[in-house]
Amino acid sequence: MTTNTAAGATAGVLGQPGDGAGAPVALQGLSRSFGAVRALDGLTLDIAPGELVALLGPSGCGKTTALRIVAGFESADAGSVTVDGRDVSPVPAAKRDMGMVFQSYSLFPNMTAIDNVGFGLRMRKLGGADRSKRAAALLDMVGLSPQARQYPHQLSGGQQQRVALARALAIEPRVLLLDEPLSALDAKVRVQLREQIRTLQQRLGTTTLFVTHDQEEALSMADRVGVMKDGRLEQIAAPHELYSRPATAFVAEFVGTMNRIPGTYQGGDDVTVLGAVVPVHGERPADLAGDVDVLVRPEGLTIEPAASGNGIVTDRTFFGSLTRVSVLLSGELAVKVDKASTAATELVPGSSVQISMPAGVPVLVTARR
Amino acid sequence: MAAVASAEHAGTSLPAPTRRPGRLRTFPFWRWAVLLIAAAYFLIPLYAALKFAGFKAFTQVTGYQDFSSSFTLSLKLAVVATVLTLVLMVPTSVYVHLRLPRIRRLMEAVTILPIVIPPIVLIIGVLKVAPGRLLGTPYLLGLEYVVLAMPFAYRSLDAGLRSFDVKTLVEASNSLGAGWPTTLWRVVIPNLRTAILSASVLTIALVLGEYTMASLDNFQTFPVWIVNFEQNSGPVSVAASLLALFVTWILLMLIVTVGSRSARKRGGGQITLFSVGTADGRPTMGEPE
């Protein structure tokens, strides 16, 4: 990840990078229902000091509810949230010392950018001169000094979110909470801001909980990503592990692109797929036997031109160094295979290819769909 | 047949080239006609009243007995009713908006009641629940006016609350360490300014012109004084009502102008007297305009 931000020499005002501002956060058995809907169902999650954890999941999986309980905007039916070992459940949101960045529309429209940033400091009774100095330093940190005197309606969406970030960081929060802060922005601004947030977070060492439905965002920013489903954590792991060794079929298919290929599983450690026998990892439901689906990433398959292969190329998409080739296997099974672009020139649509599984690469198995 | 056909042909083809400019010319005509008719409807009675009163009456009117006392009473009542209305309705509408959005429909129905219920019923109702100390004082009227102003005030405030994301702003404020009173004072009210001004304007206008309740309650507010005075001197009483009209109008214009100016500076909605909504007040995430 690149580290080009507008961060200036603000260490004097903001403390040294990674000076231990971050506090450990623990969510223990959090449950919450809204009427008949169980938004959270025993969520347990530990966040190390200074760590950025992303909660990723489809809408309605409970990730936002979890964040709002940590922030103090919702209360849990059961379970606890501890910060620095102290249960914060009885503490109102205003006294939790948590900086929060919302999806959108969260700047106070009646205040200039610098007054927005200074608001939390004012609530902490920081005097006028110190307050404006610190607010100015934070605006500088997000590269918005020239906009200090502008009102939110005069700022672009990306600028507004940067002010919101500066405002949340101004109070030196023990925990930073990000509630889909980039989802209202256009793609280019989103990528820039993503890098800026990550760089600042690492520099300040603020423990951060980040909620998103965008897997690319989660994978590129977080130290660990927790994939949620039905109010529970399916898996929490470092991005590369989540991608290469997903624990469940849900995680596998939610993160990145996955092929489902029929295979035969007789229990034990191996599964037969595409004529090869490969090892199995991750969950193995006890009743799983016989016909199963094997989950393989596009880069987990090999593709070679072959006169009488087992598939026909239907399409290909150029992604720079990689080319993604769509192949129709016998039995109307469509799969996607990644190939280095330099080696993919022959794979024109209509050509016959041989798709195979490399030996020894572990795969996930799941019930046949 | 041929003649008919050619006439038809002529009838349809001839006006065609002139239709466009013709329409352009008639459009402003109707616009002006409507405007003129409306203006006549409002201005002729005013002119007649002015003519009937004569300019002399204007110089006399302030000297009459009870003129200033009734006028001051009306102004006082306007202030009392407006302050009470805002103190009651601002927190209520904010609370309903944030915590009980489901009862918003019910609130709308309840707040419309004062318009539907006859004034005499409202008076009796207020008399029943008013604290004894207020009975017999004109401030009792103030309470009645609060009830009367409720439909207008609630609608203004509700429209104002819909024009920005109150929930997110309140949560942002809370997360930054502001408690409820501070959040209300520093975040909600400043952004509700337009709606609050609009509610105040409507309340003031209502109080300054209200006759029925005041006369039923036997208090000599300015409108009551005008009617009573009519028996003494027609022209002077008409001059008084015109004066009341202008004073009210100037007062409202002042509020609207001052309010709009400070609202515009912050990109808020323009205040207009009778549109209670601020549809354009919602902040956008797009590029600045």
Over residues B84-137, the pLDDT tens digits come to: 999 999 999 999 999 888 888 888 888 888 888 888 888 888 878 877 777 777
Which chain A residues are Cβ-neighbours of B172 within 8 angstroms?
100, 102, 106-108, 164, 167
* pLDDT tens digits, one per residue of A120-164: 999 998 888 889 899 999 999 999 999 999 999 999 999 999 999
Angle at A16 between CA A15 and CA A21, to 5 degrees: 70
pLDDT given for residue B266 in this prediction = 57
Question: B289 pLDDT exceeds 90?
Answer: no
Higher pLDDT among residues A255 and A3, named by residue: A255
In this complex, do A110 and B169 lie within 8 Å of one another by their Cβ atoms? no
| Confidence band, pLDDT 50/70/90 cuts, at residue B57 | confident
ipTM of this predicted complex? 0.82
In this complex, do A124 and B177 lie within 8 Å of one another by their Cβ atoms? yes
> B270's torsion region: left (phi>0), alpha (psi -120 to 50) or beta?
beta
- Kindly report the nearest CA distance between residue A360 and chain B, in angstroms: 50
In this complex, do A108 and B285 lie within 8 Å of one another by their Cβ atoms? no
Lowest-pLDDT range of A204-218, A239-253, B3-17, B204-218: B3-17
- B246 vs A218: CA distance, rounded Å: 64
* pLDDT tens digits, one per residue of A12-40: 444 444 444 678 999 999 999 998 889 99
Angle at A289 between CA A288 and CA A293, to 5 degrees: 75
Nearest CB to B164: which of A109, A156, A160?
Answer: A109
Determine the residue of chain A that is closest to B179 in CA distance.
A94
- Among A96-110, B6-20, B102-116, the range with the most confident prediction by mean pLDDT is A96-110
Question: B55 pLDDT exceeds 60?
Answer: yes
pLDDT given for residue B25 in this prediction = 55
- Kindly report the nearest CA distance between residue B252 and chain A, in angstroms: 24
| B124 contacts: CB under 8 Å, gap ≥ 6 | none
- Kindly report the nearest CA distance between residue B201 and chain A, in angstroms: 22
Which chain B residues are Cβ-neighbours of A95 within 8 angstroms?
177
Question: B23 pLDDT exceeds 60?
Answer: no
Residue A327 one-letter amino acid? V
Which chain A residues are Cβ-neighbours of B267 within 8 angstroms?
109, 151-154
Is B51 in a helix, a strand, or coil?
A: helix
Instruction: Give the residue-averaged pLDDT of B149-163.
Output: 90
Q: List residues of A whose CB lies inside 8 A of any B CB.
A: 71-73, 92-100, 102-110, 119-120, 123-124, 151-157, 160, 164, 167-168, 171, 177, 184-185
- B149 vs B203: CA distance, rounded Å: 5
In this complex, do A171 and B176 lie within 8 Å of one another by their Cβ atoms? yes
| A279 contacts: CB under 8 Å, gap ≥ 6 | A269, A270, A271, A360, A361, A362, A363
- For residue A30, give the H/E element and its range: strand A25-34
- B13 vs A187: CA distance, rounded Å: 56
- Kindly report the nearest CA distance between residue A138 and chain B, in angstroms: 15
